[in-house]
Amino acid sequence: MRSIPLEVTEMRELRILQAGVLDHAFVSEAMLRMQQQRIDDEIPDTLILVEHPEVVTIGPKAIRDGVEVSGYSTSIVDRGGGITYHGPGQLVGYPIIKWRQDEQSIRGIINSIEDWVMAAFADCGVVGERNEAMMGVWVGNHKVCSIGLAFKHWVSRHGLAINYDIPGTRIEDLPCCGLDVGSTTSLSRLGYGHDLSGRPIDRQRLEEALFATCEEFLDRTPSEPIEWTPVLLV
């Protein structure tokens, strides 16, 4: 692991910041700051990879629809969509990317991220699908990856959440993204606990698959992962 570089590269590199378990509120604050830094070209395109302690984020659609969540910690967010579960057994990725002029279509960006996740799943031996009526990636009739973004001057914030092995039924008990209870689940519950070589499909395996497929679908080359901790943000 190397420390975060201060210079901004002109290459189409995607700087990878790997974190352990960090509170959603902390990362949200960091994303806001980094989004403005990316707008000002003070940092390169960046992908934060992190896990959160359990929290349910509530988007504008859920607020408009009067969705209520009980028995979970909650946080109001400004990304698109309804409610999203975060917690153990889930890999969260936040792309702080300045999308080029030829990329500036919200639906196109979402499609690229969906294609990227589906390619990463395929690398693990999992067939993911797109649902034209709902953002995200599905396996059969179940949603296993949520996607929700917010933009400012075509720099994205928020991102994607891949459910690989969430314990219990904490996510299945929620009407995530306005879906019926039980529609959102984890890869492990669908029988995808291991890849074709027998390796567990865990955070490390999914990160490797995302790195391997990133350039093809995001047109950016992932950097060597950089260990990201609160100390580095000071």
Q: What angle do CA 215, 217, 219 make, to 5 degrees?
A: 50
Please measure the distance between the N-terminal and C-terminal CA atoms of the chain and give it in whole angstroms: 18
Backbone angles phi, psi at 137, to 5 degrees: -125, 135
Catalytic residue (one of 124, 176, 177, 214): 177
Query: Which amino acid makes up residue 17?
Result: L
Closest Cα partner for 37 from 153, 147, 161, 158?
A: 153
Q: Counting runs of H as helices and runs of E as strands, what totals does the chain give?
A: 4, 12
The question of whether 177 is a catalytic residue gets the answer yes
Query: Is 131 in a helix, a strand, or coil?
Result: strand
Q: Which residue numbers are catalytic? A: 177
